[in-house]
Structure 1
Amino acid sequence: MAGHKILVIDDSNVIRNMVRDMLPKGNFEVLEAKDGVQGLNLIQQERPNLIMLDFLLPKMSGWEVFQHIQTQPELQAIPLVLMSGRKEEVTEKLQEPFEYFEFVQKPFDQRVLIDAIKSAMAKAKRRPVAAVTAASPAAAAGAADSNADIQALNEKIAKMQAEIDGLKKQMAQLVAFIRQKLQ
């Protein structure tokens, strides 16, 4: 059994295989997910040592998976490498410099991947540990309800942001079409 679990969440089989092939042999167990829902389930079940997350995914976007990770202190501690073919999609939602995770632009080579993994691990170690305190059962239940409410709101925000992004794209297409007709 390998010492470290790396979860690669990407809808591209090519990228998942490429990452698997670029990692040093024998040291890693590579888990794979082809969409955000499957990826989030594997994060919760397997507790990987590293997450490589594509930003654009079916079913649940990488942005939504990222937001979910940020709501869970025990998941925040896992080193994270965000991947995307277009960095501007990431920086539109997350401001640089990326303090607690690493970003790698696709396509990437083995050196870039290994450097990104090392950087993500160093950044995760620098992240402040969220305080987890023992509380009364009633307070814990209230906190769980609050977390569920926050998570539900974050999911709604992410869906609304996706709709806004879709509307922006449609608007840009409409403006381009009108400009073309006016010429």
Structure 2
Amino acid sequence: MTNPWSFAHYKVILKELIDTDPNANFYEIVASGFKYSSEKILESDPLKIIESSYGYSNSLNNSLKGYKNLKNKYGDLIQIRFTKETLNSTVLLTNQEAFYEPYICSPIPSDTNPAMNKFEVRVDQSSYFFRYLRSYVQTLWQNSEPIDEFKEKELFYKENLSNNIKSYLDNDF
């Protein structure tokens, strides 16, 4: 999963906000110190922007609930890790096959996310795409951390994001 307190994730959240508001102007939002308002007022605090986003309030919580259910059922066979990278898909790998669900933004609402639709591609171990997905997941795995480590560092990540955004705004505007 993407670390919700990474700068990459913050940019995705801002883009979602801008894309859902036809009156939003990205350059004006940046110039105003990321103060943004539409039907609901969002403060310039990046943590509040993330916490009020659909991705954080709904998708992340649903993913963590699903993880807990799977963890209860399968124990140590199931793991969840957090990365600073922006993820553009869900990948489930077994020894025999892979399931790939790319995230596709579109104006057609889906059941789970009004701004995103998903479909699933299933491939077996003999395909090139399976080997590619396995390599992709291995790279993400090596550059991520288990949920327990993430939780221990979450306050640090939040402070780091706030400080980086503040520094960025102080230096560039």
TM-score > 0.5, shorter chain as reference:
no
Greater RCO (CA < 8 Å, at least 6 residues apart): 2
Q: Normalising by structure 1, what TM-score?
A: 0.27
